[in-house]
Amino acid sequence: MTTMNARTAKYGIGEVVRHKAFPFRGVVFDVDPEFCETEEWWLSIPEDVRPQKNQPYYHLLAESEEGSYVAYVSEQNLLPDDSGKPVAHPQTDLVFSGFDQGRYRPKPRPVH
């Protein structure tokens, strides 16, 4: 359900980003123009840090000291990661064909 006030995404597929408040980083593999999870998921976020729904949300192959996982993060909570280092996630090779100059190259999609 896209609304007219949904913004253009700041980050693109293959960009490496980090969370503003939590110690993790990840590579963008998909973008929703606005929140597309369940209401239950959104309400599970503590109200004092709950982001707005009408902004881009990013699917990340993420890494932290605890390990690798998939994260769903609002644009307001992301910053560019300028470390120049690849993300240590085991699924990056499934989605991306390589890592150059701080950015991942998406694999070509098969034509049907």
pLDDT in tens, 72-90: 999 999 999 999 999 999 9
When divided into structural domains, the chain yields a total of 1
Report yes or no on 11 lying in a domain: no
To 5 degrees, how large is the angle CA 69–CA 46–CA 1?
Answer: 75
What value does the mean pLDDT take over residues 10-21? 97
Model confidence at 3, in pLDDT bands (50, 70, 90)?
very low
Range of 41's domain? 16-106
Report yes or no on 8 lying in a domain: no
**How far lies 26's CA from each of 5, 44, 60, 92, in Å?**
26, 22, 5, 10
| Domain CATH number, residue 49 | 2.30.30
Q: How many residues in the chain?
A: 112
Report yes or no on 2 lying in a domain: no
Report yes or no on 71 lying in a domain: yes
Report yes or no on 3 lying in a domain: no
pLDDT in tens, 20-76: 999 999 999 999 999 999 999 999 988 988 999 999 999 999 999 999 999 999 999
- Is the full-model pTM beyond 0.85? yes
The rounded radius of gyration (Å) of the Cα atoms in the chain is 14
Report yes or no on 75 lying in a domain: yes
